[in-house]
Amino acid sequence: MQPHLKKKQVFDAHKIILVNETFTFQTYNVDHQVADSAATATAYLCGIKANYGTIGVNAYVKRGKCHAVKGNNVTCIAELAQNAGDCLF
């Protein structure tokens, strides 16, 4: 008799959907499984996912690569409201 061979199970956090996760929001950064507050704020307020340790820029900017910021800034909802003449503060 041959021993029973089990298939190796692969854990993929991108494919897991929690019961209460019915919206399109995902809780990870572009380059990390665990999100930080800066990149999470960018995703929430600007609608663009960001890399770990960055804020207000798109995924083309990596943490610590300040030379890449120019041209990769994103517009947040507060900036859109201010440009429209709505008072936020």
- List pLDDT tens digits, range 6-61: 444 444 555 554 544 455 556 678 888 888 899 989 988 888 889 999 999 999 99
Residue 74 — pLDDT band, cuts 50, 70, 90? very high
- pTM (2 decimals)? 0.62
Domain contains 17: no
Distance of CA 18 to the CA centre of its chain: 17
Please report whether residue 45 resides in a domain: yes
Number of domains in the chain: 1
Domain that holds residue 82: 26-89
Residues classed as catalytic: 37
Residue 1 lies in a domain: no
In a domain, 39, yes or no: yes
Q: Which residues contact 81 (CB under 8 A, 6 or more apart)?
A: 88
Q: Per DSSP, what are the bridge partners of residue 57?
A: 73
